[in-house]
Amino acid sequence: MQTPSLWRLPRVLDCTGQSRALFLKNVQQKRAPQPVRIGGSRRAVAWVSDEIAAYIREQIEARDGTNPSQHSAA
């Protein structure tokens, strides 16, 4: 098993394909993984790579209809 890594926001956005505004809105609304504080800073955060990978899988499952709890009423 590979050790998860911490990804900063630009990499997360690149992997998810979401805009900064949308991703951070989803984080705020607890729809996306929550960040981890890094480096003892109040502002520096990163996301756990495995949690981002699971988030991406959930988005695909919602699109494919294989995880009905993830569907939005849009």
Helices assigned H by DSSP within 1-74: 9-16, 20-28, 49-64
Residue 64 CA, chain-centre distance (Å), reads: 19
Q: What integer best gives the mean pLDDT of the chain?
A: 90
Picking from 5-19, 41-55, 60-74, which range would have the lowest pLDDT averaged per residue? 60-74
Q: pTM of the entire structure?
A: 0.82
Q: Which residue has the higher pLDDT, 24 or 74?
A: 24
Six-digit token string for 54: 């699971």
